[in-house]
Amino acid sequence: MTLAVILVVLVIYLFLRNIRATLIPSLSVPLSLIGTFAVMYLANFSLNNLSLMALTIATGFVVDDAIVMIENIARYIEQGEPPLQAALKGAGQIGFTIISLTVSLIAVLIRYCSCRTWWDGCFANSR
């Protein structure tokens, strides 16, 4: 798991080429994983292949949303806006889009929560 987080941060840095912009996703990934493990512990969930797949997808959501937000804010900073105004303007502009993308992906993948195995989830309607 640690190696995956390190690789994610490295790839983000290679694409963004900015330490400050890389800091946001590099902090959000471990914090979201720690929060997820805490909820899993409190809900008495086990760590199996299905939960690892869900963690991988969720980590991708967090990184993708963070990168989209950072790029939009950076665009406003490059246009000459002060950083605080750029952050408020950029987050206000695409905040709803990020929320709607995340909710739609959750709606598509929520059916796997009630499955015993991944196989059952994929082929439940074909039987």
Rounded to 10 deg, the angle between the 2-16 and 19-42 helix axes is 150
pLDDT, one tens digit per residue, over 81-110 is 999 999 999 999 988 888 888 888 778 777
pLDDT, one tens digit per residue, over 25-74 is 778 878 888 888 898 888 888 877 777 777 777 777 877 888 888 888 88
For residue 116, the SS3 value is coil
Topology annotation, domain 2-122:
Multidrug efflux transporter AcrB transmembrane fold (1.20.1640)
How much is the pLDDT for 89? 93
What distance in Å separates the CA atoms of residue 124 and residue 127, rounded to the nearest whole number?
Answer: 6
Half-sphere exposure of 125 (CA within 13 A, CB side): 3
pTM beyond 0.75? no
pLDDT range class, residue 24, cuts 50, 70, 90: confident
Q: How many residues can be counted in the chain?
A: 127
How much is the pLDDT for 31? 85
